[in-house]
Structure formats: structure tokens, C-alpha cells
Amino acid sequence: MNRIRVLSAGLQTTVQDLGRFGWAHFGVSASGAADPLALRAANLLVGNAENAAALEMTLVGGAFEFESATTIALAGSDFGAGVPLWTALDLPAGAVLRCGPTRSGARCYLAVRGGIAVDRVMGSASVHVMTGIGGRPLRTGDVLLIGDAAVRGALRAAPLIGEGGAAPDLPRDGLLRVTEGPQAGRFSGELYGGAYTVAEQSNRMGLRLRGPAIPSPPGGMLTEGVALGAVQIPPDGQPIILFVEHQTTGGYPKPANVISADFWKLGQLRPRDELRFQLVTLDDALKLLQTQEQWLFHLVHFGKL
């Protein structure tokens, strides 16, 4: 099997696919790529199935040496690797790909034709960092095996890309579209009044925000199931957005939930980034998701938008 040597691991580089589903009733959330759109695009560009295991780099990328000739793709944010994003690239044997600090958002994905070969735990290759399910973040000196999971040809035509690797239709505007959460009726729109900043303590479990405090509604509530992207309001009034490694149940009220079409933005938010919430209808949320799926289809089937 072809191998990748990890010359430097980066800040937090993990193996991810689209997540580990079907275990929430045991308290295990899906984990999976923080920016699922970028992971899918990178995989599809190299000819993998969209759910193949790839590397997720966070804020500072790693350096990787490819033992044999390989086809790769980078997608998500520009980590200064000096190669184009959002397209398949052929690397000769012995090539070294050096990523560094991000020049745009929080995460960059490295997909390798054939996928990263790791054992699946509970049906998924994704590392759940907080619990260790599926493994651990990479360390310098690790060796990764490349699998043989490619399903079709790679797409090498460089697509149109925007500033900092962002795709033109997917602006990094700090605007998070949300639909009403289960306790929306107990709030009065305070969430939509001001801008929030992403706090340093944010991680794959949750994005902690700092900004205008939102008063907790009177009366308690029973612990209930919580969804990816739920915006929950703890007693201090500072919202927490539940992220890919979120708890499966919780007892804080939730005025809103980030829409599926904006999940990728959650994965690209960095500490100190500013964001605002905008309320949309369920119908609008589903139309935006459909538009995003069309964008991905165009990217990976035609190489342009």
C-alpha cells in the first residue's frame, strides 16, 4: 500500500469522513468533517466516494511526504500550500506537501485518491477528538496508508475559485442562517439584534460566542435531544452553537438552529471571527440546501460553476 509520512502534524489534524451515524441513542454524536462540503468536494475531485476518509487540518496545517505518485485535492481554506485548491493534483513519488497557517478560514481538507486507509470504528473513520472514538489527532512521525477506494476518474481542470480559496457562491460573510429552534417561542428575537464573536474556547464540540447576553426565559426545561447546529442559551446568556462532536442531549433552551446549507461555515469560523444570525423559513433553508448541492454537482462534474 502507498504511504504518507507525516513530517509535521499541524495544530489539530484528524482523519474524517462524513460522520458516525446511528449512535445518538447511546450518547455518541456523529463527529465527521467540520466543513462537510469541502470534504465531499475534495473526495469527489480525486475520484473517491464523497464519504471517503480524508485529512482535516485546523488553523495550521501539516507537512506530508507521499511515498509513491499520488493524486490529491485540497479544499476548504487556503493553508498556504502553494498549490491550487478545489482541483485534483498529480504528485510525483517523494513529493512533499507543506501546509502552514491559514490564510482564510479555520479548516483545509486533504483528500488522497483511494482514501486514507484506517479501521472504521462503529461504522466510521472519523476521529471523535473529545472521546477518542476512531483514534486521535495526527502526530509528527505517523505513517498513513492510502486505500484503494477510488470509484472513478479524478477531475483535474482547475475550477474558478475566489479570494482565499472560497468558492464564489459560498461567501465567507459571517452570516449564519437559522431556522427556529424548539424553544423559539420563549425568546423574543434577541439573537438577531447584534454581532457575536467566536471565543477561543471553541472546539469541535461547540462554538462558544461572545456578544450581547440573551436573557434565559423563565422556567426550567427537561433535558431533551439536541441537533447539530443548535444555538443554545446557557444561564450566562452567551450562545453556544453545538458542533460536530456535540452532546446528544441537553437542558438549555434553544431559540434557533443553523441551517444545513450553512454547516460548512461553522467549520470555517475561526476564533475572533464575527458573525450574525439571520432567521429564515424551513422552506428557504431547504431551497438553499438544494442550491448548494447543485453547486457541488457542477464543481465535481464540470470543474466550473
Partner 1 sequence: MIIRPASDRSLLISFGEEISLEAHAQVTRLTRALAGIRGILNLHPAFTSVLVDFEPRLRTHAEIEALVRERSEGPLEPDAVPPRVVEIPVRYGGECGPDLEDVARHAGLSPGGVVERFCAADYVVYFVGFATCFPYLGGLPAELAMPRLPAPRAHVAEGSVAIGGSQAGIYPLASPGGWRIIGRTELRLFDPRAEPPALLRMDDRVRFVPAGQEARPN
Q: Which residues bind partner 1 (CB under 8 A)?
A: 21-28, 30, 121-122, 130-131, 133-134, 179-182, 222-230, 247-250, 254, 257-260, 282, 285-286, 289, 293
For the bound state, the minimum distance from the C-beta of residue 122 to partner 1, rounded and expressed in Å, comes to 6
Closer by beta carbon to partner 1, 197 or else 260 = 260
- Separation of alpha carbons 301 and 101, rounded Å: 30
For the bound state, the minimum distance from the C-beta of residue 40 to partner 1, rounded and expressed in Å, comes to 12
Closer by beta carbon to partner 1, 8 or else 260 = 260
For the bound state, the minimum distance from the C-beta of residue 42 to partner 1, rounded and expressed in Å, comes to 20
Find, among 106, 91, 122, the residue nearest to 13 by Cα.
106
- Separation of alpha carbons 203 and 242, rounded Å: 10
Closer by beta carbon to partner 1, 197 or else 203 = 203
Closer by beta carbon to partner 1, 7 or else 286 = 286
Closer by beta carbon to partner 1, 15 or else 89 = 15
Beta bridge partners of 214: none
DSSP annotation of 11 reads S
Report how far apart the first and last C-alpha atoms of the chain are (Å, whole number): 35
Whether the Cβ atoms of residue 265 and residue 239 lie closer than 8 Å to each other = no
Residues 6+ apart with CB under 8 A from 90: 69, 70, 71, 156
Phi–psi pair at 55, nearest 5 degrees: -100, 135
For the bound state, the minimum distance from the C-beta of residue 46 to partner 1, rounded and expressed in Å, comes to 23
For the bound state, the minimum distance from the C-beta of residue 227 to partner 1, rounded and expressed in Å, comes to 4
From its phi and psi, is residue 168 left (phi > 0), alpha (psi between -120 and 50) or beta? alpha
Closer by beta carbon to partner 1, 9 or else 259 = 259
For the bound state, the minimum distance from the C-beta of residue 128 to partner 1, rounded and expressed in Å, comes to 9
The three cell numbers locating residue 255: 431559540
